[in-house]
């Protein structure tokens, strides 16, 4: 938050929040069998059995290639309130993931291991996209390896579009068109919200920020090293008024106004919502947890206000990090695992094809839109390698992939991100539940409350 997802999910969520760990035990010191033992985060709790099997198959491949390393996998979901407790209690895996939004604060708190030396030994260390790697760096020091970068897009249900008489191959390209299509869907397909955004668990603020960025606004500005919280601006007011109009004038957002990342994914998977902002990689979770058929899924760009030079796409992702409590041998093994599991499928044809085949065999999506950890040429090469395994109809996501590489990518606010998002949750909920909600007053309070937190950091 990802961002509250994860993120993405993808939060999910992402999504932004910090890490719940299911049944995790500390990797501890190396065992007496002469091998290095590490614990690695696998999938979020609730993922289907096929997805876990696919992960376990990759573990077996890694152990076969590295007979001196033993890997134990643990279900894992990043959620902030418990992270420090897990670290202090020794229940954090040696390898875990954190959202882009939280990596810098964890680095400053000394909660991520310095893996600069280990990363610099990798043959592709000089080929990272520096704009992406920056989220895991402090100066020249590296504290993680980014993976699965995503940009926010607009997910939509192609079948519902067809039922409403809309062309699923021509999704909306302006906010006015999104509103018009949402109204048409809600009128012609009973029980379906034409459009909806997330509203709680910090995801409401995350998605509001997404729609504000697309219109050219900012939630924070920095000048001379000083950060000013600026949610109460004309663009944010416009985004909120637009959402308010969908609720109170068009009645096209349904009746559930308490949706977080998993909740809105569930509603989308159940055919209750036709369109919603999401990370470009959300389809993986939709397939794993919500039984969405990729053939029924569409992804397009969020409408970008081309008249505003500051308009852009909110981008995020995850960082594969190593516990600061891991031994040197475990750090070495951990980076080997990160290289094997997250990177090689992007750089090595055999690994890319093998990974894709495992996913296909277990019914998982292949060809989900992402942004390159390296460069577009590497991304295109990777897609060519796995073209025979791709099971996500690329024409269904072309409205996004054809344009995203030319879009301006904008990082999330970097000061008290989660507190800001949480404060904005209440604003989003208010405009959906109170026809007389005073947007200006609500945003003024957010600015005041979060500015106090920012100023207290000095």
What is the three-class DSSP state of 146? strand
The domain boundary, picked from 294, 315, 336, lies at: 315
Of the listed ranges 50-59, 75-84, 392-401, the one predicted with least confidence: 75-84
Report the domain count for the chain.
2
Claim to verify: residue 193 and residue 210 sit in the same structural domain? yes
The answer to whether residue 277 sits within a structural domain is yes
**DSSP annotation of 339:** I
Claim to verify: residue 170 and residue 128 sit in the same structural domain? no
The answer to whether residue 138 sits within a structural domain is yes
CB-count burial class (<10 Å; 0-12, 13-18, 19+) for 126: exposed
Q: Where are the alpha helices (DSSP H) in 116-196?
A: 116-120, 130-133, 158-163, 175-188
Q: Where are the alpha helices (DSSP H) in 141-245?
A: 158-163, 175-188, 203-215, 234-245
The answer to whether residue 275 sits within a structural domain is yes
Q: Compute the distance between CA of residue 26 and CA of residue 34 in angstroms, rounded to an integer.
A: 18
Q: Residue 11: what pLDDT?
A: 32
Confidence of residue 81 (pLDDT cuts 50, 70, 90): low
Which tens digit of pLDDT belongs to each residue from 206-242?
999 999 999 999 999 988 778 999 999 999 999 999 9
The domain boundary, picked from 350, 372, 407, lies at: 350
| Of 6 and 236, more confident | 236
Claim to verify: residue 181 and residue 285 sit in the same structural domain? yes
The answer to whether residue 451 sits within a structural domain is no
Q: For 123, list phi and psi in degrees, rounded to 5.
A: -65, -20
The answer to whether residue 40 sits within a structural domain is yes
- For residue 232, give the nearest of 58, 424, 422, 26 by alpha carbon: 424
**What is the Cα gyration radius of the chain?**
21
Q: Residue 304: what pLDDT?
A: 97
CB atoms within 10 A of CB 34: 7
Claim to verify: residue 39 and residue 100 sit in the same structural domain? yes
Q: Residue 149: what pLDDT?
A: 84
Task: Please report, in angstroms and rounded to a whole number, the separation of the first and last CA atoms in the chain.
Answer: 25
Q: Compute the distance between CA of residue 161 and CA of residue 170 in angstroms, rounded to an integer.
A: 10
Tokens of 186: 């809600």
Q: Compute the distance between CA of residue 452 and CA of residue 129 in angstroms, rounded to an integer.
A: 35
Q: Are 80 and 421 in contact (CB under 8 A)?
A: no
Claim to verify: residue 140 and residue 119 sit in the same structural domain? yes
- For residue 264, give the nearest of 206, 190, 180, 217 by alpha carbon: 206
Q: Compute the distance between CA of residue 443 and CA of residue 424 in angstroms, rounded to an integer.
A: 8
Which tens digit of pLDDT belongs to each residue from 155-176?
999 999 999 999 999 999 999 9
| Of 377 and 159, more confident | 159
- How many helices (H) and strands (E) would you count in the chain? 18, 15
Claim to verify: residue 249 and residue 110 sit in the same structural domain? no
The answer to whether residue 418 sits within a structural domain is no
30 pLDDT more than 60: no
Q: Are 338 and 320 in contact (CB under 8 A)?
A: yes
Confidence of residue 458 (pLDDT cuts 50, 70, 90): low
Claim to verify: residue 194 and residue 114 sit in the same structural domain? no
The answer to whether residue 363 sits within a structural domain is no
Claim to verify: residue 43 and residue 122 sit in the same structural domain? yes
Claim to verify: residue 284 and residue 163 sit in the same structural domain? yes
Which tens digit of pLDDT belongs to each residue from 397-413?
999 999 988 888 888 89
Claim to verify: residue 58 and residue 206 sit in the same structural domain? no
Tell me the pLDDT of the chain averaged across its residues: 90
Claim to verify: residue 21 and residue 111 sit in the same structural domain? yes
Range of the domain at 190: 152-315
- Which CATH number is 211's domain given? 3.40.190.10
Residue 377 neighbours by CB under 8 Å, 6+ apart = none
Claim to verify: residue 138 and residue 274 sit in the same structural domain? no
User: What is the pTM (predicted TM-score) of this model?
Assistant: 0.74
The domain boundary, picked from 263, 296, 315, lies at: 315
The answer to whether residue 381 sits within a structural domain is no
Which tens digit of pLDDT belongs to each residue from 402-441?
998 888 888 889 889 899 999 999 999 999 999 999 999 9
Dihedral in degrees, nearest 10, Cα atoms 321, 85, 261, 303: -50
- The average pLDDT across 330-357 equals 94
Q: Where are the beta strands (DSSP E) in 133-178?
A: 137-138, 141-142, 145-157
Q: Residue 31: what pLDDT?
A: 61
- The average pLDDT across 117-142 equals 92
Task: Give the torsion sign (CA, 53, 146, 399, 202).
Answer: positive
């Amino acid at each position: 938050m990802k961002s509250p997802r994860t993120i993405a999910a993808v939060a999910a969520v992402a999504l932004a929040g910090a890490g719940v760990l299911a049944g995790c035990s500390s990797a501890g010191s190396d065992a007496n069998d002469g091998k290095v033992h590490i614990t690695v985060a696998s999938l979020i709790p609730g993922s289907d059995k096929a997805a876990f099997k696919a992960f376990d198959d990759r573990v077996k491949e890694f152990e076969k290639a590295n007979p001196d390393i033993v890997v134990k996998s643990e279900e894992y979901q990043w959620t902030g309130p418990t992270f420090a407790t897990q670290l202090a209690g020794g229940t954090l895996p040696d390898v875990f993931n954190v959202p882009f939004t939280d990596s810098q604060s964890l680095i400053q708190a000394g909660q991520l291991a310095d893996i600069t030396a280990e990363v610099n030994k990798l043959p592709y260390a000089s080929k990272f996209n520096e704009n992406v790697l920056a989220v895991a760096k402090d100066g020249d020091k590296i504290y993680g390896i980014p993976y699965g970068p995503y940009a926010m897009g607009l997910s939509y249900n192609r079948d519902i579009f067809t039922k409403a008489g809309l062309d699923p191959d021509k999704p909306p390209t302006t906010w006015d068109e999104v509103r018009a299509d949402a109204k048409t869907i809600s009128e012609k397909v009973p029980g379906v919200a034409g459009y909806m955004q997330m509203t709680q668990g910090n995801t409401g603020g995350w998605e509001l920020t997404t729609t504000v960025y697309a219109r050219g606004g900012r939630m924070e500005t920095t000048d001379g090293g000083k950060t000013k919280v600026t949610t109460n601006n004309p663009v944010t007011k416009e985004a909120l008024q637009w959402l308010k109009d969908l609720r109170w004038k068009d009645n096209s957002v349904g009746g559930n106004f308490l949706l977080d990342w998993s909740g809105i994914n569930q509603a989308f998977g159940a055919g209750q919502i036709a369109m919603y902002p999401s990370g470009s990689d959300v389809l993986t979770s939709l397939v794993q947890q919500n039984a969405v058929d990729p053939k029924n899924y569409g992804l397009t760009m969020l409408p970008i206000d081309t008249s505003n030079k500051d308009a852009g796409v909110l981008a995020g992702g995850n960082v594969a990090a190593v516990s600061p409590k891991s031994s040197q041998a475990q750090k070495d093994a951990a980076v080997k695992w990160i290289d094997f599991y997250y990177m090689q499928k992007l750089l090595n044809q055999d690994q890319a094809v093998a990974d894709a085949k495992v996913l296909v065999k277990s019914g998982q999506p292949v060809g989900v839109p992402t942004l390159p950890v390296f460069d577009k040429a590497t991304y295109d090469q990777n897609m060519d390698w796995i073209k025979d395994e791709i099971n996500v109809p690329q024409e269904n996501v072309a409205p996004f992939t054809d344009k995203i590489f030319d879009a301006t990518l904008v990082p999330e606010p970097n000061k008290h991100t989660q507190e800001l998002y949480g404060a904005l949750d209440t604003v989003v909920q208010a405009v959906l539940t109170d026809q007389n909600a005073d947007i200006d007053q609500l945003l003024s309070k957010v600015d005041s409350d979060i500015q106090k937190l920012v100023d207290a950091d000095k």
